[in-house]
């Protein structure tokens, strides 16, 4: 492992461990960093379908979120993320009947990690507003207040008359439903 | 939707409700094992000479063999259910365990008169042994595949195969409470065949059941 990769691993790992302890600001930061690397990783591999890149970045992020209980702290975080990204990419190729070469190895990932991953993100094809409208009212409220209006959990609880615990649960359930609607399997 | 919006959305979900791999895999093994034991007792009954049988070296060695198969399968499942981990020594361990039993069988066979060798390899129950083990393992295999689906296996066929070997070995150890065979040759051949069959079934089911 090159020195810069080791530094990066250490940085991501410590952010990630704080995130798992419930620090959502750290979580947002680590997901943002990862999304940059995922974007350049997937862009290199989906050259004939660049339109799909952002969709797949988002799908991979959702998978990372849903499968975060499978990460164990003794394992390199970058290897864990790489394996998920690769799985999602292969799955995508299969679903779209692409014949692009499946040859891939972790050295390319290391290369991806050493470039600057902060390229502009573009819009994916899924529409948040549209799916939000189909959620049960309490879940929609909880998500809209915290995310779209940037309120804290306690402010949301105050405005909606839900308890803080149930705001958390409603966000959790709402996200689960959203992902199911986007076809992300559990 | 902007990716940054999605990230914000994901970060707002602070509930971590899923258990890590070890806990998730314990439940199906326990529940599957209980169902399996109930099926065995109901369908075929426990060997009436069991009490005397459990003291014999043949039984003890067979159980140790099955335990080592289960140990290596659990080791494999715990690795394969997490992205970025390879199978490690799973197949080496499983292969060596089986070879050890086969060597015991061959050794036993070599020390026996030529006329009795066939009986040693075929026992009294070769027609049903593998089939019974495979049938008994189905509830365990089903429960394991369900639990693995909650985790994140990136190599579904391989993971399914190891789940099959795990289910087969657990079923075989429960079937042992009914089985009256005592030769190592029989165990390596017919127990082995039953376990391998479930492993193959798992390899076929894996890619279908373990997508996420």
Are A142 and A85 in a shared domain?
no
Please determine, for residue A144, whether its predicted confidence score (pLDDT) is greater than 90: no
User: Is residue A148 pLDDT above 80, yes or no?
Assistant: no
Q: Note whether A35 contacts B82, CB cutoff 8 Å.
A: no
Identify the closest residue of chain B to A74 by CA–CA distance. B85
A104 vs A26, higher pLDDT: A26
Report the alpha-carbon distance of residue B164 to residue B204 in Å, rounded. 10
Domain shared by A164 and A89, yes or no = no
Domain total for chain A?
Answer: 2
User: CA-to-CA distance for A79 and A168, rounded, in angstroms?
Assistant: 30
Q: What pLDDT shows up at residue B210? A: 93
A83 to B84: CB separation less than 8 angstroms, yes or no: yes
The answer on A107 and A45 residing in a single domain is yes
Residues A62 and A145 in one domain: no
- Alpha-carbon B20 to chain mean position: 21
Predicted local distance difference test score (pLDDT) of residue B105: 94
In a domain, A123, yes or no: no
With 80 as the cut, is the pLDDT of residue A116 above it? no
Please tell me the distance in Å from A25's CA to the nearest CA on chain B. 7
pLDDT digits (tens, 9 = 90+) for A71-90: 988 889 999 999 999 999 99
Distance CA B205, CA B141 (A): 10
Indicate the domain borders of chain B.
Answer: 29-209
pLDDT in tens, B110-164: 998 888 888 889 988 888 999 999 999 999 999 999 999 999 999 999 999 999 9
Do B164 and B141 form a contact (C-beta atoms < 8 A)?
yes
CA nearest A139 in B: which residue? B13
Dump pLDDT digits (tens) for A15-40: 999 998 888 889 999 999 999 999 98
Confidence band (pLDDT; 50, 70, 90) for A98?
Answer: low
The per-residue DSSP string of B15-74 comes to: ---PPPHHHHHHHHHHHHHHHHHHHHHHHT---TTHHHHTTSHHHHHHHHHHHHHHHHHH
* pLDDT above 60 for A65: yes
Decide: pTM greater than 0.80.
yes
Structural domain includes residue A21: yes
Cβ-based contacts of B1 with chain A (< 8 Å) = 58, 123-124, 126-128
The domain boundary residue, chosen from A85, A114, A143: A114
Average pLDDT over chain A, rounded to whole?
82
CB hemisphere CA count around B189 (13 angstroms): 19
With a CB cutoff of 8 Å and minimum separation 6, the contacts of B6 are: A58, A61, A62, A124, A128
Interface contact flag, A186 B150, Cβ < 8 Å = yes
Please list, in sequence order, all residues whose beta carbon lies within 8 angstroms of the beta carbon of residue A90, skipping any fewer than 6 positions away.
A102
Q: What percent of chain A has pLDDT over 90?
A: 29
* Same domain, yes or no: A139 and A167: yes
Do both A107 and A136 map to the same domain?
no
Q: Which stretches in chain B have pLDDT values below 50? A: none
Q: What confidence score (pLDDT) does residue A51 get? A: 80
Helix count and strand count (H, E) for chain B: 10, 0
- Residue A59 shares a structural domain with residue A149: no
Q: For residue A174, what are the domain limits?
A: 128-181
- Which H, E and C letters describe A109-122, residue by residue? HHHHHHCCCCCCCC
A14 shares its domain with A90: yes
Give the domain CATH number at A175.
Answer: 1.10.10.10
Note whether A118 and A36 are within 8 A (CB): yes
Task: List the single best residue of A69, A92, A94, A174 to mutate versus B (max B Cβ within 10 A).
Answer: A69
Q: Which of A15-19, A64-68, A107-111, B31-35 has the lowest mean pLDDT?
A: A107-111
Chain B residue with Cα closest to A82: B84
Say whether B152 and A84 touch across the interface (CB within 8 A). Answer: yes
- A132, part of any domain: yes
The band of A150, judged by pLDDT with boundaries at 50, 70 and 90, is confident
Last residue of one domain, picked from the residues A64, A87, A114 = A114
Whether residues A68 and A136 fall in one domain: no
The pLDDT assigned to A105 comes to 61
- Residue A115's closest CA among A171, A44, A65? A44
The reply to whether A143 and A88 lie within a common domain is no
Which residue among A91, A114, A137 closes a domain?
A: A114
- Cβ contacts of residue B118 below 8 Å, gap of 6+? none
| Residue B35 in tokens | 């169902």
Residues A35, A112: Cα–Cα separation, whole Å: 12
Same domain (yes/no): A74, A16: yes
Same domain, A65 and A93: yes
A121 is a domain residue = no
């Amino acid at each position: 492992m090159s020195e810069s990769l080791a530094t990066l691993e250490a940085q991501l790992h410590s952010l990630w461990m704080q995130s798992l302890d419930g620090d959502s600001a750290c979580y947002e930061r680590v997901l943002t960093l990862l999304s940059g690397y995922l974007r350049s990783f997937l862009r290199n591999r989906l050259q004939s379908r660049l339109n799909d890149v952002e969709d797949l970045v988002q799908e991979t992020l959702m998978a990372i979120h849903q499968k975060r209980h499978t990460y164990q702290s003794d394992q390199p975080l970058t290897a864990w993320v790489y394996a998920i990204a690769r799985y999602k990419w292969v799955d995508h190729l299969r679903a779209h009947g692409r014949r692009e070469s499946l040859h891939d190895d972790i050295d390319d990932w290391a290369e991806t990690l050493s470039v600057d991953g902060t390229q502009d993100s573009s819009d994916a094809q899924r529409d948040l507003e549209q799916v939000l409208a189909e959620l049960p009212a309490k879940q929609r409220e909880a998500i809209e207040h915290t995310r779209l209006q940037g309120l804290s959990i306690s402010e949301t609880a105050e405005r909606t008359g839900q308890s803080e615990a149930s705001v958390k649960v409603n966000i959790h359930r709402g996200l689960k439903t959203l992902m199911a609607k986007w076809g992300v399997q559990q | 939707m902007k990716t940054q919006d999605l990230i914000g959305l994901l970060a707002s979900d602070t509930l971590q409700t899923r258990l890590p791999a070890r806990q998730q895999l314990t439940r199906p093994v326990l529940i599957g094992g209980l169902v399996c034991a109930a099926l065995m007792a109901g369908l075929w009954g426990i060997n009436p000479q069991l009490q005397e049988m459990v003291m014999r070296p043949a039984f003890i060695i067979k159980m140790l063999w099955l335990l080592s198969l289960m140990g290596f399968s659990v080791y494999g499942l715990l690795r394969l259910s997490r992205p970025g981990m390879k199978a490690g020594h799973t197949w080496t361990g499983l292969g060596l365990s089986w070879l050890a039993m086969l060597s015991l069988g061959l050794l036993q066979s070599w020390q026996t008169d030529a006329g009795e060798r066939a009986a040693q390899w075929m026992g009294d129950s070769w027609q049903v042994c593998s089939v019974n083990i495979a049938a008994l393992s189905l509830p365990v295999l089903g429960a394991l595949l369900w639990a693995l689906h909650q985790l994140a296996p990136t190599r579904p066929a391989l993971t399914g195969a190891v789940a099959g070997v795990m289910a087969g070995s657990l079923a075989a150890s429960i079937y042992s409470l009914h089985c009256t065979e005592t030769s190592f040759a029989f165990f390596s051949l017919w127990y082995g065949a039953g376990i391998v069959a479930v492993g193959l079934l798992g390899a076929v089911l894996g890619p279908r059941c373990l997508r996420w």
